[in-house]
Amino acid sequence: MYSKMLLLRFSKDVVDQPIISNMVSAHHLSFNILKAQISPRREGMIVMELRGEREDFDRGLKYLEDVGVEVDAVGQGIRRDNDRCYQCGSCTAVCPTGALHISRPEMEVLFESERCSACEACVKTCPVRAMIVTFDRSLA
């Protein structure tokens, strides 16, 4: 099973079409949408994990490109500087995937990087800048 985090951008010409549904059913793929911003008749952006057999995965990507969807690998991640973090919890309020959450009863902010979609909402919210964007040059 092959899996990859992808950023899909939909132009106004294709944003109202069932492209993801068509792709996963035609190519036997599964997916998990981590973040989506869709503006009908304008544009759309989806961060998703796409999974399937490598051959099916490659055919699915080809389908996306053929119908006009811009596909990029998510080549960045987020890490936390634990020395800066003072456990205020601001980041947990904006994290769309639950990668940042509060452990109870300790009230400690936990970061599960494997659940992170790299949306950067926590980076903008953190008052002490403990959340840092990292780049993986092998995906760029």
List the domain boundaries for the chain: 2-73, 78-135
* pLDDT confidence band for 139 (50 / 70 / 90): very low
Q: Is the pLDDT of residue 106 over 70?
A: yes
Domains 2-73 and 78-135 share a fold: yes
Q: Quick one: pLDDT at residue 136?
A: 56
Residue 99 has pLDDT above 50, yes or no: yes
Question: Could you report the per-residue pLDDT of 15-58, keeping only the tens digit for each?
Answer: 989 999 999 999 999 998 888 888 888 899 998 889 999 999 99
pLDDT band at 87 (very low <50, low <70, confident <90, very high): very high
Task: Note whether 123 and 114 are within 8 A (CB).
Answer: no
What secondary structure does DSSP assign to 29-93, as a single string? -EEEEEEEEEETTTEEEEEEEEEE-HHHHHHHHHHHHHTT-EEEE--EEEEE-TTT-----HHHH
How far apart CA 83 and CA 136 sit, in angstroms, is: 23
In this prediction, residues 64-70 reach a mean pLDDT of 95
Whether pLDDT at 137 is above 60: no
Structure tokens at 134: 């990292």
Q: Which CATH architecture has domain 2-73?
A: 2-Layer Sandwich (3.30)
Q: What is the mean pLDDT of residues 101-109?
A: 94
Could you tell me the two tokens for 140?
């760029």
pLDDT for res 72: 83
pLDDT band for position 75 (cuts 50, 70, 90): low
Topology, domain 78-135: Alpha-Beta Plaits (3.30.70)
